[in-house]
Amino acid sequence: MSVIIDGSASVTINNGAVLGITSGTAVASTSGTSIDFTSIPSWVKRLTVMFQGVSTSGSSYVLIRIGAGSVDTTSYTGITAVGWSGIANYSDTSGFPLYYNTNTYTLSGAMVLTTIGSNIWVISGTVAMTGLNGVIMTGGSKTLSSTLDRVRITTVNGTDTFDAGSINILYEG
């Protein structure tokens, strides 16, 4: 079945899923220790987290966490590599890391989460570090106990606050 939305875009509904890309509402990352996107529909198969000029007040690096009913903080296989004139890498089991000092540099780019079935999610993406002329590449996986319904962007220490930029999501079935 096709449906006309706002008089211009046509989408197809298949088993309750809206096919096409849906944008969340951009959130200014200028305060607070975390940014949450909740009520993600159960039919979502791919979710993109986008960063534009994001920085924090301290040296703790940024994490992406996902969840089903609540945000999971364990059993991630997240690995990140930072490239500029040298290479640094870091792994984390409490979330998908964007490893580098974000009180000195800003982050812009996208991380893509995709389900491979059975509530298993994989992540990959690249974020530029403005001011360092480097990039952060992240990959990993996380198995949820149920259907993904939320994403949280925070820092490892959970106390550094966001102080610049914006974050948004796109999702699709």
Element (H, E) at 18: strand 17-18
Q: In Å, what is the CA distance from 91 to each residue of 3, 24, 75, 88?
A: 44, 28, 12, 11
Q: Where are the alpha helices (DSSP H) in the chain?
A: none
Four-residue CA torsion sign, 28, 155, 77, 128: positive
Residues 6+ apart with CB under 8 A from 136: 80, 81, 82, 98, 99, 100, 107, 109, 126, 127, 128, 129
Joined together, the tokens standing for residue 168 give: 């948004």
Residues 106-122: pLDDT tens digits? 999 999 999 999 999 99
Place of tokens 């996208």: 110
Six-digit token pair at 19? 């096919």
Domains and CATH numbers, the chain: 21-172 (2.60.120)
Give the number of other Cβ atoms within 10 Å of residue 1's Cβ.
6
Give the mean pLDDT of the chain. Answer: 88
What pLDDT, in 10s, does the model give residues 73-89?
999 998 888 876 566 78
What residue type is assigned to position 18 of the chain? V
Output the pLDDT for position 83.
Answer: 76
Task: Reply yes or no on whether the pLDDT at 93 is more than 50.
Answer: yes
